[in-house]
Structures are given as C-alpha cells and as structure tokens.
Amino acid sequence: MTRRLLFITMMLGVIGLALPAKGETLTLSRRQCIAIALDSSPTIKVADLEVRRTEYARRETQAGLFPTIDFQAAYQRSIELQTIRMDMGGQSQSLKMGSDNTWNLGFNAQMPLINPTLWKAISISKTQILSQLESARSSRLNMIDQVNRSYYALLLAIASKDVIRQNYDRAVFNAGLYEKQFEAGTASEYDVLRSSVQVKNLEPELLQADIAVKQCKLSLQVLMGLDYNIDFVPDVTLEEMQLEMYGYTASDAMDLSGNSSLRQIDIQADIARKNVDLKKFAWIPTLGASFNVNWISLSNGNALKNQEFNPYSNVSLALNVPIFSGASKYYGLKQAEIQLKEVALQREDLLHSLAMQRDLAIDNINREVQQIASSAEGVREATKAYDIMQKSFEIGAASYLDLRDSELAHTSARLSYLQCIYNYLVSTSELDLLLGKELELR
C-alpha cells in the first residue's frame, strides 16, 4: 500500500467511511469532500507551517528577556615584553614587565532590565502570529469555496446527463414506435428514418454529458487529493439541494466582521500602531546588568606548565541614554505614522468595496430564488405539455415535428431549472466566502 493510499484510508476512517473494495463506489457528502480536501491540501499545510514558523520567531524575540550566558577563553603569548625606564638614585634603569604566557577564561552573563523597544517588539511578534493564523483561515475558506463549486458542478453535470439520458430514451421509444407503425403501414419510411436520425444525433450529446461528469469528478478528486482509481458519487442530487436552500438571506447575519481580508487589514493596522510606539520607545533610555567571573594565569616559559589561575569577578549596570542620532529616529517615526494612515485609508476603501459586493451578492441570490420558482413552474408546464403531445403522437393525433418541439421545450426547461439551482448554490458559497463563514464539519 502506497503512502497516498494509506493517507486516504486514514482520512476515510476519520470521517466514518471505509475504503471501498475494488469495483465498489464510495458515497461522499459535500462536508466529507471538504474535510478530505482540508487535510490533504498542500496550500493548507504551508499555511499551517507558516503559523508554526511565526510562533518560533516570537519565541526567538521573547528570548531577549532572559539572560545570555557566554563562556570565553583566550591565550596570549608575548614576543617582546614591555620595557619601562625608571630613575633610581640618580641612575636610570630599564625593567621588563609582563609575562610570556597569559591565560584568561571565564563566564559572562548579561540581562536587560529596562528595554521598552524589546517589550514592544515582543508584542508585535504576537500580533504577527494572529496575522498568520488569519492567513491560514483564509486558505481554508478559499478551499471550502473551491470544493463547494466543484461539488455543485458535479451535481449539475450528473443532473444534466440524466435529462439528456431521458431525452435519448424517449427518442429511442419514439423511433421504435415509428418502426411498428411502418410495419403496420401507418407511417412512412421517411418518418422512420427521421426518428432514427434523431436518436443518432442525441448519442454525441449523451457522450459529451458523460465526459462532463468525469471532468467534474476529476476536478473534485484533485482538490481532495483522492486517488483517481477510487470512484465516488455524491450523496445528494441537485434537485434535493433545494431542501436546505431557501431562507438563507432572511435567517443569516450579513455582518462583514468575519471577512478574512478585513480581519487581515485590521491586524495590519494593529501592527502599524505598535510600530509607531516602537519608534517612540527608541528615545527611552535602556538599562542592563552584567556579571563576569574570570580566571587569569600569568607564567613564563612553557605555556602548559606552572599555571596558577586566580579568579576575579565583577557586576555592573549599564545605562544607555539616546541623545542624538542624526534625526534618524524622528524620520523613522514619521514613516511609521504615514504607514498607519495608509492602512486606515485602505481599510475604509476595502470596507466600502466589501459592502457593495455583499449587497450585490444578496440581490443576486434573491433574483435567483425567483428564477428557480419561475423555472420550476416552467418545468411543470413543459412536462404537462409534453405528456399531452406524447399521447397525441401515440394515437396519431400529432405529428413528429410537434412532438419534437415539445421535447425540446421540455428539455430546455429542465436544464434551465437545474442551472438556476446551481447558480443559487454557487452564489451562496461566494457569499459565505465573502462573509468569512466557516463550515462546521460534523
């Protein structure tokens, strides 16, 4: 069993399904398709890794609050000792100072006590994690929308194929009826040929419909990372989707606060505000503490013999007061303030654009609801007209041309009805993406 097959087996086990045996077909709901896609998508995995990377970056910045401890060791060999001249009793004498070998080793510890810039940098790193989390959430929302569209397209392709299949079956039935009438002497050979040609003309349409179903299924398999050898079918038809369609705009809130782009720009604004504070904190003095403990050894001759290490240590405080830096801090602050204003303007423009998209999406959904109702009525009328014409044709009260016109009207009405349902479902998925609604995978 390959790794891919093992992964699919595990995922199907998580969602309560078993890997189908050879020749069997798996039945998947839309939610199950989404669950598989979210767990297998490389884009989602990269987004999750970015969250982890940002968390490690935050911890790296946070480590600046803790002491840093270093060990240092140094050896120095004197080539020529330092000479000093001293006057002693009116006589000048030269003395050599120092030693041939100098060993110095010890530990150094430093810790910031007051460092507002570091504190604000840690706060910014925490906000950056929220930005990556929202980016990962955005990737999930886009994946859900893509799976929804592919799933609905598969439902439409299957439903359209069923309509064409029924039309083909009726054509075959009518062709057989003409053959019987021809044998009985009540129909001409021309009528038999015309009805047979009609059957042949529908065969390419049926083949094209079958190809469309396979293409939609393949597209969905790619999104889910599902092996193409694993066959599956939806657990619902397109017409059955009406049961959970209506009342969407009336019962659901149209609040844009969940929109991923709006959330991300809010996080950017928060980071920009903290950057302004970070630039201001550059003028605040910093205070640090350090502690050193060392051992030193001085000797002459062999560097590895007769060493005597003597300890010495010290503790110190270091105060750093910024006074002048060529106005670099001032101009850095101005840049941060301008960036904050830019983000505020971008947010205002984005909010206006999202509000227009939401209102347009709601209008489209309401219009598509009306179109579904109108198309459903058209299907009922076309079905009734076709049934009447079919019976009339069977008793010889209607011509084949009249029957064919009725068939075309009936087929067109049904396909139009299915397209309206598909358009509605896609529009609701688009609105969910716009509003940032997350699907509960139960």
| pTM (two decimals) | 0.80
Which of 263, 271, 281 is CA-nearest to residue 339? 271
pLDDT one-digit tens code per residue, 73-131: 999 888 877 777 777 666 777 777 778 888 899 999 999 999 998 899 999 998 999 99
Contact (Cβ atoms closer than 8 angstroms) between residue 117 and residue 286: yes
Is the pLDDT score of 302 beyond 70? yes
pLDDT one-digit tens code per residue, 6-33: 445 555 554 555 555 555 688 899 999 9
Structure-token pair, residue 76: 């120095």
Query: What mean pLDDT comes out for the span 155-175?
Result: 90
Give the torsion sign (CA, 103, 109, 114, 117): positive
More confident residue, 3 or 398: 398
Query: What mean pLDDT comes out for the span 302-331?
Result: 87
Contact (Cβ atoms closer than 8 angstroms) between residue 191 and residue 178: yes
Angle, helix 116-184 to helix 328-394, in steps of 10 degrees: 10
Which of 173, 194, 221, 234 is CA-nearest to residue 25? 234
Structure-token pair, residue 177: 């009826």
Enumerate residues 6+ apart whose C-beta is below 8 A from 103.
73, 74, 75, 295, 296, 297, 298, 307, 309
pLDDT one-digit tens code per residue, 262-274: 999 999 999 999 9
Angle, helix 400-435 to helix 116-184, in steps of 10 degrees: 170
Quote the pLDDT of residue 251: 47
Quote the pLDDT of residue 374: 92
Task: Report d(CA 342, CA 348) in Å as an integer.
Answer: 10
Quote the pLDDT of residue 287: 93
